[in-house]
C-alpha cells in the first residue's frame, strides 16, 4: 500500500513539473498548411512564387462582382478591356486605330483642347486629316513651298456661307466680294450692267484711256476721242475746241462713204470730193459762197463749165487767159445797144470773141 502511495506522489510531482514548464511553439513544416485551415485574420509580408505583398494598408479589395484597386502599374494588358467611366491618361496614347462611336442625342464626342499635329523641327508637313478606303485616299493636310492647307477634294460650303480673308468676304455662291479689286480673269460668261472705272484694255485692240479720255481700236497713239487704225491709216472722231465736231482720216489716206460695199462719196487726201451716184439736192446749193439768196437753186461765186464750155461773167471781152471755142462770157455791166454777152469763136489766149444778144436802145 505504501508503495502505491509513493508512486502516485511521484506522478503528481512529475505532472506539476511538466505543468510549470513553458509550452513549446507549434512548428508547421513546409507545405503542411492547407488553405482550408485559414479563415479571416491578417497575413503580412505574404510572398509566393508569383505574389509579393509589401503593403502596409488595404489596396486590393476582392468581392463577388470583381476587384477594386487604387493604382495599377503594368507593362501590358492582354485581351479586350472595357472602361465604364472616364479614362484619364497623363501621357501619350499610341494606337494603330482609334474608333469613336457615332454621336447620339444623349452621348456627345467632344474635345476640350485643339487638335494638334506636331512634326519635326516645328513643321508638320503632310499631316492632317486623312480618309482611307478602297478608293484613292482623301486628304486635308499641311503642305510646304509655300506653306498652305492642301485638299485632295472639292471644298463645298453651305449655299448661305462665304469664303473670307481677314474677315472680309471674298466670294459668295454667286458673286465676288466688294473688296475684290484686282483680277486676271481670262474667260467670263455674259456680263450685265458692267461698270468699269478707269482705263481698260481688250486683247490689245480695244482700249480706253481715262486720263486722255480716248477710245481707240487698234491704235497705240489715238489722235481723237474715238480712233480706229489699220496699218498706217487712222480714222478719228473728235471735237474742235468744244465748239464743233470733226470726223475723217487723220492720216493722208482718202475717206470713202459707202453703201452696199460701194463707194458713193470719196474725199481724196487733197480735198477733192467725188460723188459716184445719182445726187439729189432738195434745197438751194451754193458753190464758193458763204451767204447766198434763196431765190435761186444754184449760186456759184465764179465761172462754171457747162457741157465742156466755160461760162463766166465779166464787164468786157477777156484780155487774158486761155479759152476754147464755145466759151461764153456774160456781160456783167449790160448797157442799151450793148450785148448780153460774148462767145469765143476761135480758141486762143484770149481767143477771138463776138458779141451776141444785142440789147435794144
What pTM was estimated for this model as a whole? 0.48
13-53 tens-digit pLDDT: 777 777 777 777 777 777 776 767 777 777 777 777 788 88
Of all residues in the chain, the percent with pLDDT exceeding 90 is: 42
The residues near 262 (Cβ < 8 Å, ≥ 6 apart) are 276
Domain boundaries, the chain: 200-275, 285-358
DSSP symbol at 157: -
Q: Residue 105 has what pLDDT?
A: 60
Q: Residue 317 has what pLDDT?
A: 95
100-121 tens-digit pLDDT: 766 666 666 677 788 888 887 7
Q: Residue 47 has what pLDDT?
A: 75
The residues near 209 (Cβ < 8 Å, ≥ 6 apart) are 199, 216, 222
> Which residues of the chain register pLDDT less than 50?
none
Q: Residue 102 has what pLDDT?
A: 64
User: Rounded to whole angstroms, how far apart are CA atoms 98 and 96?
Assistant: 7
Concatenating the DSSP letter of every residue in 8-24 gives HHHHHHHHHHHHHSPPP
Amino acid at each position: 500500500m505504501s508503495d502505491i502511495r509513493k508512486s502516485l506522489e511521484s506522478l503528481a510531482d512529475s505532472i506539476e513539473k511538466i505543468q510549470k514548464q513553458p509550452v513549446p511553439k507549434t512548428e508547421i513544416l513546409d507545405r503542411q498548411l492547407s488553405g482550408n485551415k485559414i479563415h479571416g485574420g491578417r497575413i503580412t509580408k505574404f510572398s509566393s512564387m508569383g505574389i509579393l505583398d509589401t503593403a502596409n494598408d488595404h489596396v486590393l479589395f476582392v468581392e463577388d462582382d470583381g476587384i477594386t484597386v487604387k493604382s495599377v502599374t503594368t507593362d501590358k494588358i492582354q485581351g479586350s478591356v472595357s472602361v465604364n467611366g472616364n479614362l484619364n491618361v497623363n501621357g501619350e496614347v499610341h494606337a494603330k486605330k482609334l474608333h469613336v462611336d457615332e454621336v447620339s442625342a444623349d452621348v456627345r464626342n467632344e474635345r476640350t483642347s485643339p487638335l494638334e499635329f506636331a512634326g519635326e523641327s516645328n513643321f508638320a508637313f503632310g499631316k492632317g486629316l486623312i480618309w482611307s478606303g478602297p478608293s484613292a485616299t482623301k486628304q486635308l493636310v499641311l503642305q510646304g513651298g509655300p506653306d498652305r492647307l492642301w485638299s485632295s477634294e472639292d471644298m463645298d460650303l453651305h449655299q448661305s456661307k462665304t469664303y473670307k480673308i481677314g474677315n472680309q468676304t471674298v466670294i459668295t455662291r454667286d458673286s465676288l466680294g466688294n473688296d475684290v479689286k484686282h483680277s486676271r480673269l481670262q474667260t467670263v460668261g455674259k456680263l450685265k450692267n458692267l461698270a468699269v472705272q478707269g482705263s481698260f484694255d481688250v486683247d490689245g485692240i480695244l482700249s480706253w484711256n481715262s486720263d486722255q479720255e480716248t477710245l481707240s481700236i487698234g491704235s497705240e497713239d489715238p489722235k481723237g476721242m474715238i480712233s480706229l487704225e489699220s496699218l498706217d491709216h487712222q480714222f478719228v472722231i473728235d471735237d474742235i475746241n468744244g465748239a464743233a465736231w470733226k470726223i475723217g482720216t487723220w492720216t493722208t489716206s482718202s475717206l470713202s462713204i459707202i453703201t452696199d460695199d460701194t463707194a458713193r462719196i470719196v474725199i481724196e487726201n487733197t480735198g477733192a470730193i467725188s460723188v459716184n451716184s445719182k445726187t439729189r439736192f432738195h434745197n438751194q446749193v451754193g458753190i464758193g459762197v458763204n451767204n447766198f439768196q434763196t431765190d435761186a437753186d444754184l449760186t456759184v461765186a465764179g465761172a462754171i463749165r457747162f457741157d465742156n464750155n466755160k461760162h463766166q461773167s465779166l464787164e468786157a471781152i477777156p484780155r487774158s487767159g486761155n479759152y476754147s471755142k464755145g466759151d461764153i462770157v456774160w456781160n456783167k455791166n449790160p448797157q442799151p445797144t450793148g450785148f448780153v454777152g460774148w462767145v469765143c469763136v476761135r480758141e486762143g489766149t484770149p481767143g477771138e470773141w463776138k458779141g451776141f444778144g444785142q440789147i435794144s436802145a
